[in-house]
């Protein structure tokens, strides 16, 4: 997430359009990664990781392989079960380093989505939902944005029906494929 807010729509008095002023300067970034965990018969779970980027020299602007592998390790500890991760083809997800880190974990199986298929990725629904809830927000500081984002994600962790809805929105289902 960047310092620039997503645009939303609102009602206003005729003749006076509501405006939200945002400075053009970037005050940093807040990259986020989410993991939606589904298991038949159990409620959906959400794991996430945020990284604060303040713009300092030499500081990484996005999440790296170590951030993603820590997210997967945390999910494995939380769920106490092997993981089958379905990933998009983000360069970090398919890097040699990530493949090596994933190969070290016998409890981890990685499956890649086709080249461009956001409609098959439930996490895309999660981020769209979060961005709608932050529409027209003019956070004054990166800390304010981080606090709000963490509270939104924390609240979603307990809304299992919404998390299950992100999977339903893809048209995919859990279970074994029908084989003749």
What pLDDT sits at residue 96?
95
Per-residue model confidence as pLDDT tens digits over 61-112: 889 999 999 999 999 999 999 999 999 989 999 999 999 999 999 999 998 9
In degrees to the nearest 10, what's the CA dihedral of 72, 78, 83, 89? -30
What pLDDT sits at residue 7?
64
Q: Pick from 113, 134, 123, 116: which is nearest to 2 by CA? A: 134
What pLDDT sits at residue 95?
94
pTM metric for this prediction: 0.78
What pLDDT sits at residue 60?
82
What pLDDT sits at residue 135?
77
Spans of the chain below 70 pLDDT: 1-10, 20-27, 175-180
What pLDDT sits at residue 70?
95
What pLDDT sits at residue 129?
92
Strands 45-50 and 83-87: unpaired
């Amino acid at each position: 997430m960047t310092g620039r807010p997503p645009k939303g729509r609102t009602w206003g008095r005729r003749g006076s359009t509501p405006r939200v002023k945002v400075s053009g300067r970037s005050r940093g970034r807040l990259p986020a990664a989410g993991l939606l965990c589904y298991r038949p018969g159990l409620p959906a779970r959400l794991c996430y990781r945020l990284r604060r980027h303040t713009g300092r020299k030499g500081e990484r602007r996005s999440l790296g392989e170590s951030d993603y592998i820590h997210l997967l390790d945390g999910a494995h500890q939380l769920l106490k079960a092997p993981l089958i991760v379905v990933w998009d083809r983000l360069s970090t997800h398919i890097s040699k380093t990530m493949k090596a880190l994933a190969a070290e974990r016998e409890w981890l199986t990685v499956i890649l989505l086709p080249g461009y298929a956001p409609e098959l990725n439930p996490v895309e629904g999660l981020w769209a939902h979060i961005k709608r809830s932050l529409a027209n927000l003019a956070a004054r500081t990166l800390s304010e944005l981080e606090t709000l984002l963490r509270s939104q994600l924390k609240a979603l962790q307990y809304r299992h029906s919404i998390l299950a809805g992100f999977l339903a929105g893809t048209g995919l289902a859990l279970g074994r494929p029908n084989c003749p």
